[in-house]
Amino acid sequence: MLDVRNLGFSRGKNILFEALNFSLTSSSAMRVTGSNGSGKTTLLRLLSGLSRPDQGMVCWRGESVTKNHSEFVKSVNFVGHDDGLKKQLTAAENLRFTLPLLGVSPSAKDVDLALDAAGLESVKNRPVMHLSAGQKRRVALSRLDFMSHRALWILDEPFTSLDVAAISSLAEKLNKHIESGGLVIFTTHQSFDMIPQAVSLVLD
């Protein structure tokens, strides 16, 4: 499903990684770990097609993602470390305005239900600039409720700023996606093991 072949990337004279090879099938997950500056976010951007490697290639379903980039990106759901929210908009408005860019147009009711399920019922109509870091993260991660049609989920530090209940809820979503045939790749600094089937890639 996803094949990484001889992948390499440098920042100036600093080689972040080279000769990196791995393959992941459907219904699987990978946990990427490493110290700050080891290249975790860079690797995720390469895997999602947002950046180009210095060497090697990323293949999706047997074909280089650069050859069929427009089709590949329709299979990817990338959630960066930055929540990507418009601070002046409410939590509900952020979802209603950004989800159509990802190929889905949920009703206002569906958006409200997703935010309610994330424990944001009391703040969903409040401008995001007034929310806590954890609440902002939960707003961004609520997009996952509408992304089941995208097989490859790539998440940069998704558990950051979340409380225990939110961590459990996110792990449930990720495991459900994996069980339904999806593929999840995520970075983390946390030591807990919420995705037990995930293989580990250490970039240090």
Residues 66-124: tens digit of each pLDDT? 888 888 999 999 999 888 899 999 999 999 999 998 889 999 999 999 999 999 999 99
Residue 62 has a CB neighbour count (10 Å cut-off) of 7
Domains held by the chain: number = 1
Q: Which pTM does this prediction carry?
A: 0.92
User: What pLDDT score was predicted for residue 136?
Assistant: 96
Is residue 25 a contact partner of residue 51, using CB atoms and an 8 Å limit?
A: no
Residue 188 has a CB neighbour count (10 Å cut-off) of 20
Q: Please compute the mean of the pLDDT values over residues 126-150 and round it to a whole number.
A: 95
Whole-number percent of the chain with pLDDT over 90: 79
For residue 10, give its domain range.
2-203
CATH at residue 164: 3.40.50.300
Q: What letter represents residue 162's amino acid?
A: L
- Encode pLDDT of 56-69 as tens digits: 999 999 999 988 88
Residue 150 has a CB neighbour count (10 Å cut-off) of 21
User: What pLDDT score was predicted for residue 13?
Assistant: 82
